[in-house]
Amino acid sequence: MSNITQKGSDEAEFAKPLYTPIKRRSFFMYAGATAGATALLLSGCDDDEGDVSNPTTTGTVNLGSGDVGVLNYAYALEQLEAAFYAQVIANFASGFSADERTALTAIARHEAIHRDFFKTAITGAAASQIIPGLTPNFSAVNFSDRGSVLATAKTFEDLGVAAYNGAGALIQNPAYLGIAGKIVSVEARHAAYIRDLISNGTFADNTTVDSNGLDKAMTVAQVLTAAQPFIRETINGSNVGK
């Protein structure tokens, strides 16, 4: 700040009004868009302190804080998706056409690539903070039933998109934001494909896109609540992005 004061407060007063109202105004606009997004924005606004004191107890996985926390968050979700599709393609339920099997196999490969991409990214950025491999719990999924497989795939893809959309504001390093952007649109393409398989034309219906044309965004807490039943370990994401 010191160089700013030296340059003169007139300039500071001149510039501030130009920039701040759009943030304030748009905040209220989005606050009305979804309650979930609002909660995220509020939590992302005011608390920058890192908290590394949370102990990792047996059976609990702490995603950590800051950008590494966001990367671990994405890594956890990609692990879940990759494990799910690996099981789907290992023994296809009856009723999947050859084209659908090819597409689901491609998705399984994309997710495995995303998973290991994050593993490499976190190892490079903070090797000591990477979360372990998680143990999936797919007991609620009937892998021999096409409907159960597709319903679960839709849940995971929509959840992944909403998670990335909600996490964008938590990311500090623009490079990680770019990476998230490269992946989330592929997840959205998956989500639309799976939705169209379930019911053609539901690729972007009003259960995921709101009246501003905005796709869903969810907070870390909301996403982990939805994902937790599919993971044996207890995931603690309370400091992600903080």
Taking the complex as a whole, the smallest distance from the CB of residue 6 to another protein amounts, in Å, to: 10
C-alpha–C-alpha distance, residues 240 and 242, integer Å? 6
Residue 199 near another protein by CB under 8 A: no
Please pick, from the candidates 56, 144, 212, 234, the single residue that binds another protein as defined by CB under 8 A.
212
Cβ proximity to another protein: between 89 and 226 the closer is: 89
**Are 188 and 135 within 8 A, CB to CB?**
no
Site for another protein in 12-31 (CB under 8 A): 12, 14-27, 29-30
How is residue 44 written in tokens?
Answer: 């992302």
Residue 169 or 236: which CB sits closer to another protein? Answer: 169
C-beta of 49 vs 55, nearer to another protein: 49
Task: List binders of another protein among 86-115 (CB under 8 A).
Answer: 86, 89, 103, 105-106, 108-110, 112-115
C-beta of 15 vs 60, nearer to another protein: 15
Of residues 172 through 191, those in contact with another protein by CB under 8 A are 172-179, 181-191
Backbone angles phi, psi at 226, to 5 degrees: -75, -35
| 35 contributes a contact to another protein by CB under 8 A | no
Structure tokens at 149: 């497989």
Q: Which stretch binds another protein (CB under 8 A): 56-64, 137-145, 211-219, 231-239?
A: 211-219
CB of 55 to another protein, least distance (A): 29
DSSP annotation string for the chain: -HHHHHH-HHHHHHHHHHHHHHHHHHHHHHHHH-HHHHHHHHHHHH-----------TTEEE--SHHHHHHHHHHHHHHHHHHHHHHHHHSPPTT--HHHHHHHHHHHHHHHHHHHHHHHHHHHHHGGG------B--TT--TT-HHHHHHHHHHHHHHHHHHHHHHGGG--SHHHHHHHHHHHHHHHHHHHHHHHHHSTT-TT-TTTB-TTSPBP---HHHHHHHHGGGBSSEEE-TTBT-
> Is 201 one of the binding residues for another protein (CB under 8 A)?
yes
Minimum distance from residue 112 beta carbon to another protein (Å): 5
Report how many residues bind another protein under the rule CB under 8 A: 88
Q: Name residues contacting another protein, limited to 50-79 (CB under 8 A).
A: none
Residues 116-175 that bind another protein (CB under 8 A): 116-117, 120-121, 124-125, 161, 164-166, 168-169, 171-175
Report in angstroms how near the CB of residue 53 gets to another protein at its nearest.
Answer: 26
